[in-house]
Amino acid sequence: MSRLVSMTDMLNKALEGKYAVGQFNINNLEWTQAVLEAAEAEKSPVILGVSEGAGKYMGGVKVVSAMVEALMETMNITVPVALHLDHGSSFENCKSAIDAGFSSVMIDNSAFVIDKNIEETKKVVEYAHSKGASVEAEVGTVGGTEDGVTGGVNYADAQECLRMVTEAKIDALAAALGSVHGDYEGEPVLGFDEMKIISDLTKTPLVLHGGSGIPEFQIKKAIENGHSKINVNTELQQVWTKAVREKLSSDAKVYDPRKVIAPGKDAIIATVKTTMQRFGSSNQA
């Protein structure tokens, strides 16, 4: 019996309660331990995001799923946890993740025209829902670079968003409204008016990709305008790397990998806790 849950209930509760659940992308065992430890400490629901590239790096979706399930048991995790495929590139990859035990997937057909995007997304939704998994889809294009994939920003159209929700019956909508993956050059410019229109029209939890580096006042405004899921990846990579670099530069004799990366893990725990507080998901489990 899986300990994982889909995103559906946690995101609908967040939409109603005007807070957001964080998706924190994981890259290895320690990363996963850190995010789960922070979630349990904050009593917050959490979404573990796994990009296709990170999944391959960790040994494949079966390994990732087994690792997460085992950690939840040995760490005695009591908060709701979803294991989510981030930017799934095909029905086959989404199906493989679900079959391996993932409780949620994102199918990213945003490069297609809207008719094909909806048509291909429907197939994933039908399979996922038959297995109790949730589905996120994207309309428009989130800019920036993630896992070697680069794209420019293309704002989502409100009517196309409504069609995606009503026709494909998705559980969460990533409507591209100015956020980007990776680092921002200057302050992000998000389409708050468009967010409100799309949120009021679809009445579906919205997903903000590229959550790292967005000022807190903009995060709060995005939540007010229907965002119930915010993705964080770059910031965790940055704080991990900074802490590990500092350890190596301050201790020339350290060579035990556990001691080398321990400060990185601690940095992730601290950052995830702070982020959950900022998103308002603490004590919402």
- DSSP for 75-138? TT--S-EEEEEEEE-SHHHHHHHHHHT-SEEEE--TTS-HHHHHHHHHHHHHHHHHTT-EEEEE
232 among annotated binding-site residues: yes
pLDDT tens string 102-137? 999 999 998 899 999 999 999 999 999 999 999 999
Q: Is the pTM of this model over 0.85?
A: yes
Tell me whether residue 246 is in a domain. no
Tell me whether residue 125 is in a domain. yes
Please return the burial class of 1, using the count of CB atoms within 10 Å of its CB with bins 0-12, 13-18 and 19+.
exposed
231 among annotated binding-site residues: yes
Range of the domain at 149: 7-233+268-279
Assigned token pair, 139: 């309309």
pLDDT tens string 27-58? 999 999 999 999 999 999 999 999 999 999 99
Mean pLDDT confidence for 142-165: 70
**Neighbouring C-beta atoms of residue 253, cutoff 10 Å:** 4
16 among annotated binding-site residues: no
Tell me whether residue 154 is in a domain. yes
In terms of pLDDT, which residue wins out, 142 or 157?
A: 157
Q: Is the pLDDT at 184 greater than 60, yes or no?
A: no
108 among annotated binding-site residues: yes
pLDDT averaged over the chain?
92
Tell me whether residue 107 is in a domain. yes
How many separate domains does the chain show? 1
Residue 183 a catalytic site member: no
Tell me whether residue 139 is in a domain. yes
Catalytic one among 9, 86, 147, 266?
86
Q: What is the CATH number of the domain that holds 51?
A: 3.20.20.70
Distance, CA of 98 to CA of 15 (rounded, Å) = 25
Tell me whether residue 244 is in a domain. no
- List phi, psi (to 5°) of 175: -95, 115
Sheet strands (E) in 169-226: 172-175, 180-181, 206-208
Tokens 């909806």 -> residue: 118
In terms of pLDDT, which residue wins out, 192 or 31?
A: 31
Please return the burial class of 283, using the count of CB atoms within 10 Å of its CB with bins 0-12, 13-18 and 19+.
exposed
Tell me whether residue 255 is in a domain. no
How are beta strands 143-146 and 134-139 bridged, if at all?
Answer: unpaired
**Neighbouring C-beta atoms of residue 257, cutoff 10 Å:** 9
Binning pLDDT at 50, 70 and 90, where does residue 212 land?
Answer: confident
Tell me whether residue 249 is in a domain. no
Q: Is the pLDDT at 250 greater than 50, yes or no?
A: yes
